[in-house]
Amino acid sequence: MPASLRFVFAIHNHQPVGNFDKVLEQAHEDSYRPFLDLVERYPEFKFGFHTSGPLFEWWERRHPDQLERLARLARRGQMEVIGGGFYEPILPLLPERDRRGQIRAFTEYLERRLGAKVEGMWLAERVWEQGVVKSIVDAGIRWTVVDDFHFLCSGLAADQLQGYHVTDEEGRVLRVFNIAEDLRYRIPFRAPKDTVDYLRSLATEAGDRVVVYADDGEKFGVWPRTKKHVYGDRWLERFFEAILAESSWLKLSSFSEAVREVRPVGRVYLPDCSYREMTEWALPVDTQLQYEDAVAEVAKVGAHHPAKRFLRGGTWRNFLSRYPESAVMHAKMRHVSERVDALPLRSRAYEEARQALYRGQCNCAYWHGVFGGLYLPHLRDAVYRNLLAAEVLTREYGAAGAGGPTGAAPPVAERRDFDLDGEEEVHVTNGRLGLYVKPGLGGHVYEFDVLDKGANLLNGLARRRESYHRKVKLAKVVADADGVESIHDMVLAKEEGLQHRLHVDPHWRMALMDHFLGAGATLEAYSRGSVRDAGDFLLGVYGADVRSKDGRVEVALARDGRIGGRAARVEKVLTLGSGTREVEVAYAITNLSGERLDARFGSEWNFALLAGRAHDRYLVGADGRNLGPLATQGVFADQGRFSLVDEWQGIRVNLHFEAAADLWVFPVETVSQSEAGFELVYQSTSVTPCWSLALAPGSSWRTRFVVAIEG
């Protein structure tokens, strides 16, 4: 009996919530549309197709004909529709109710819009934890697909991976296919014959093996230089023809057909895992460098050395410990989910808030690897914009009882562990502004929400070491590169000189951050993060007292510490009134020592307004003069008033100082990697008003300033 094999070919298309329209349009023209143009010409080429909800919604608005084409392909049995979480969430990160809700919502949408039955789902970033089995099966799904790496990490051997396995949790049974990593790196970067030869090597006389290729559809036209390779040079056309020419022994199959016609290979229990590259990116940077070196050493022995299967990185949740900005965004999402879940299920507010919540669970902005992800401000902004929209709906419903608008509310304060770090924070809101304060970390403000704008003004990102930084100086500028490679292998840069911008921040960049700067400190050194504080207040623990009086809420923070070796106390009070978009800040610094205390004090605020060099995002001085774009660096002396303007969002941040201050201003810009190469990304504008102090023993210095939001 001649050897034969079943081959499942599937693609996964995704665009994150909040991505730029021009990016989606380019991807549509370079990849999504030409792929369907070509595959329609080969009706015998059966394939699986997953497209995430955000991209489907965009197609409905901009290219509804794309959905009609997909419906036709599904009706003629050529395309299997693959479901998932509607807005491509990392499933284990969600509360159980949202896991099921996202999957069911997307299944209902696909079956209604494409007229196809959905039996299986795509697991976003293939992030697996055994607990998702119950969620997936309870949502009506029979099978999913992850990487062969997951199976190897569970202890299985490579020759046990040509098929699907079953797993169970709390009595629910799920079928799990594995994606062949060898194929992910072959397609479309090697000749079609290479894939055919690889598949032939796995064929058996029993013909019961199933081999799966499933990967990003963006590899076919969006990844650098692939459009010409895949379509211009006819790689994909030649691939379709090469596969179809082997139909005597190579059977194209859908996942669901394989489940119905082939017995499972066996039972498996997978460890917490994702695809191999993701487990590498999730590691702390020093460990990641060691991991890369270990992988390189094993590769010298051979690509298929048995030791390779024992080399695995971290779990996806490590991103929450690596990046506090991701951790607080995740905690915010869970808090908002609680509020949405408390709404009456049949209310309009619930439906609107749930959809906004689901959009805010889109995975891309919560992590970082070869794609920009967390490093891209517009993606983080989209998450907060949706989470804040859901939060506002829950607050309006609670105040009005019917989901109607209520306007500004009396200020309220709540103390609880909002960011899930084991310590209490303070949240203050008046329905127009919302602030989250961390007494246990410098008494900082880590979230500053303008609720009617859906903006978190502190949604920036600190500059950190990344393992890929050691490659930046070796990168070719994109225009000088040639050849077609996987994005995992390319070393490209979008501009020259990035190796000189690899600054590292000694702390998370928030607001109300108390600095005591030595006499020799300069803005240049301060902007690089290389100035050491003369005090121990910046990251110290503050006591917190919350009090309400006269329609205002005050958060009073205080700490006894040392400045230049001398005992001192810092007291600061945040005040939020009713119906206002102003926050008042009052400082008192007392010399507790028996000696004179001379110091330069600064209160650092990092305002994230999305674009550092756009013409409609700029700074304004006390005299009303435009001082340059948000990415301007400089010392602006003796300022009683200072503004940051974002015309695109319609937000103006005004700082009013009781005592004129010298403002140290600079852009926080990160060097990150994307599929197109290393790039410099504006994250926020750091503004530190500074005052010189000369305090006799026992004396105090006091000042006030106001942060007021217009627009």
- Report the catalytic residues: 125, 216
Distance CA 341, CA 351 (A): 11
Alpha helix positions (H), 517-561: 523-527
Q: How many CB atoms lie within 10 A of CB 40?
A: 14
Distance CA 608, CA 615 (A): 16
* Helix/strand/coil for 647: coil
Distance CA 218, CA 428 (A): 43
Question: In the block, which residue shows the tokens 């978190």?
Answer: 456
Return the beta strands (E) in 69-140 as ranges: 79-81, 83-84, 120-122
Asked whether the CA dihedral 19, 360, 333, 709 is positive or negative, the reply is: positive
232: left (phi over 0), alpha (psi -120 to 50) or beta: alpha
Is the distance from CB of 212 to CB of 8 less than 8 angstroms? yes
Cα radius of gyration (the chain): 28
Nearest to 92 by CA among 304, 363, 359: 363
Helix (H) or strand (E) holding 642: strand 634-646
> Who contacts 537 (Cβ-Cβ below 8 Å, separation ≥6)?
442, 514, 516, 559, 561, 563, 570
> Who contacts 700 (Cβ-Cβ below 8 Å, separation ≥6)?
588, 589, 590, 591
**Residue 638, class by beta-carbon neighbours within 10 Å (0-12 exposed, 13-18 middle, 19+ buried)?**
exposed
| Per-residue exposure over 431-451, b if at least 16 CB sit within 10 Å of its own CB, e if not | bbbbbbbbbbbbbbbbbbbbb
Distance CA 208, CA 202 (A): 11
Is the distance from CB of 37 to CB of 28 less than 8 angstroms? no
Is the distance from CB of 161 to CB of 146 less than 8 angstroms? no
Tokens of 29: 């023209």
Q: How many CB atoms lie within 10 A of CB 397?
A: 24
Q: How many CB atoms lie within 10 A of CB 311?
A: 17
550: left (phi over 0), alpha (psi -120 to 50) or beta: left
CA distances from 339 to 393, 397, 483, 539, 622 (A): 10, 11, 51, 31, 42
* Helix/strand/coil for 303: coil
Distance CA 340, CA 352 (A): 10
Helix (H) or strand (E) holding 48: strand 47-51
Asked whether the CA dihedral 54, 58, 61, 66 is positive or negative, the reply is: negative
Degrees to nearest 5, angle at CA 202 with 201 and 206: 125
* Helix/strand/coil for 475: coil
Single-letter residue type at 695 = L
